Structure formats: structure tokens, C-alpha cells
Amino acid sequence: MSILRNSFAGSFYPNNPVILQKQLDAYFSNTTKTIQKPKAIIVPHAGYTYSAQTVAYGYKQLTNETIKTIIVLAPAHRTFHQSLAIPAETILETPLGNLDVHQDMINILLSSELFVKDSRPHYQEHSLEVQLPFIKHLLPSCNIIPINVGMIDIALAKKAATELANITDAETVIIVSNDLSHYHSLQTAKQIDENTINHILKMSPENLITQHQKKEIECCGIFPTTLLLATLNELEVNNHKVLHYDTSASASFDDKQVVGYASIAFY
């Protein structure tokens, strides 16, 4: 048994469990559940001061549901790789208590040889870590399949989507960790983000990658989102709803260099 330690408790979010719990309760108190039986959500991954309220809109949809397994698809910020990396560690640390990695399902994914056991992209990576307190708060006994999605191509995304769809049952939800545009003016950010969200809602992984390559859209979770869309196509999940949109300007009051955030549910 080995533990993937957190690195951003005390900076991106509180490391004091009492304070963290109160913050999460406050975020959820401002949201409502509008989706039944969600199959996936896209949520941001910035510091809680900036994005946690938007995140809460996504996770709120998981309340009062029977969920035993959560697949988290997260992008790499500090490492360059072109794989689907699953950590060797079997426990994920959070200030609210640890979460178990779903080793049986991970072994199935690894047997396909499309996924690799590699902890390096998970070290000092906030995109997965900031999701874990939300999960522990809502679904403390669920098992996690943490996947750091590198710069994969559409062929690998489609093959991996088949494998993910095969292990996704009625008690499984997929979470994608994704921020939108970075460091534009507020007006420009909103325009770019609207375009990006519209292309995500087309449910076409090929289109999304193409638009990103053309620099028509902007999001740091482009590869996890592409993999999600391919998986949802395999699962024949077509319904979606934008739950909340915001930018860092709401917290920073800086409208010159903002980051965009959205929560989107698929069901």
C-alpha cells in the first residue's frame, strides 16, 4: 500500500479539514441539483478562491446518486508525455481522509496496453488533486481511477474510449478536470470560452482537436476532454447542460488577465 501525497493543500485549498469542510458546505449551499443520473462532468481546477464555486455546480449533480467508481481524467501541467498515465500508488491523500484507487479496474485498463503505470505526471500536479476533496466530501467510500492524459492523438483517444466505456457501468461517473482560456481580457475570454464550450457540446472529439490545433478554442484540458467525448460517444450519451460559467475576475477583480471556468454535465 502506497500513498499519492497531496502537494497543494494549504495553497490551492485549505489543509485544515474543519475549514475545508466548511468551505465545501458553503459552496454547495449556493448550488442546485438539476441533472439525474449524470454520466460525466467537466469542472475547473484552479485555486478554490477562484473556481471552487463553479466546481460545486458540477459535483452537486452527483448528490443523491448511487456512485461507486469515479474516473478522473486530468491534464498534465508540469510534465510532457503522450500517454494515459495511472499512478502506481493505491491511496490518494486528502485533508478530509484518503480515497482508494480502484485497482481491479485499473488492472483491466493496464492489460489493454493503452494505459501505462507511471506516477511521474501525477507528482506536483494540481489538476487531479483539487478534485479529491470534493469527491471525499460527497462520496467518501467511492473508488477512484486517476488518469493523467498526456498529448494523445485522436486514434489513441478512440481506442482508450472503448476501454473506458467497457468499465463504465451505471454506478460509474467520469470527471474531467479542465480550465478554459488563460490570461486574456474579460471580454475576450468570454468570447473564446463561449466558442470553446459550443465546440465541446458538439460531442465530436475530432472537431475539438481540430479546432484546438487551429487555435480557435482554448482549454488546458483539451486532451482529457477529447477522451471524454470519445467515451461518451461509445456510451451513446448525448444530453448535456452547461451548469455554470465564471472567470477569475469575479474573485480577483482583475479584468485584464483572466482565466475561464465552466461546469458542464453529460447525462
Residue 232, strand partner residues: none
Share of the chain above pLDDT 90, in %: 100
**If pLDDT is split at 50, 70 and 90, which confidence band does 1 have?**
confident
Task: Give this prediction's pTM.
Answer: 0.97
Task: Give the Cα separation of 266 and 40 in Å (integer).
Answer: 5
Q: State which H helix or E strand residue 107 sits in.
A: helix 103-111
Residue ranges of domains in the chain: 3-173+181-257
Q: What would the mean pLDDT of 233-255 be, rounded to a whole number? A: 97
φ, ψ for residue 13 (rounded to 5)?
Answer: -155, 160
What's the pLDDT at 244?
Answer: 98
Rounded mean pLDDT, 137-163: 98
Rounded CA separation 33/28 (Å): 10
Q: How many CA atoms, within 13 angstroms, populate the side-chain half-sphere of residue 92?
A: 31
Quote the pLDDT of residue 121: 98
Given a cut of 90, whether residue 52 has pLDDT beyond it is: yes
Percent of the chain with pLDDT over 70: 100
Q: At residue 255, does pLDDT exceed 80?
A: yes
Distance CA(262)–CA(48), nearest Å, equals: 14
The pLDDT value given to residue 211: 98
Q: What is the pLDDT of residues 104-128, one digit of tens each?
A: 999 999 999 999 999 999 999 999 9
235 and 267 Cβ atoms separated by less than 8 Å: no
> Which neighbouring-strand residues pair with 245?
262
C-alpha torsion angle, residues 221, 144, 29, 65 (rounded to 10): 110
For 62, other C-beta atoms within 10 Å of its C-beta total 21
Q: What average pLDDT does this structure show over 77-103?
A: 97
Q: Which of 156, 37, 136 is nearest to 94 (CA)?
A: 136
Length of the chain: 267
- Structure confidence at residue 165 (pLDDT): 98
Q: What is the pLDDT of residue 11?
A: 97
Mean pLDDT of the chain: 98
- What CATH number has the domain spanning 3-173+181-257? 3.40.830.10
Determine the average pLDDT of the residues in 198-214: 98
Strand partners, 71: 145, 174
3-state secondary structure of 4: strand
Mean pLDDT, residues 128-149 taken together = 98
Cα-Cα end-to-end distance for the chain: 35
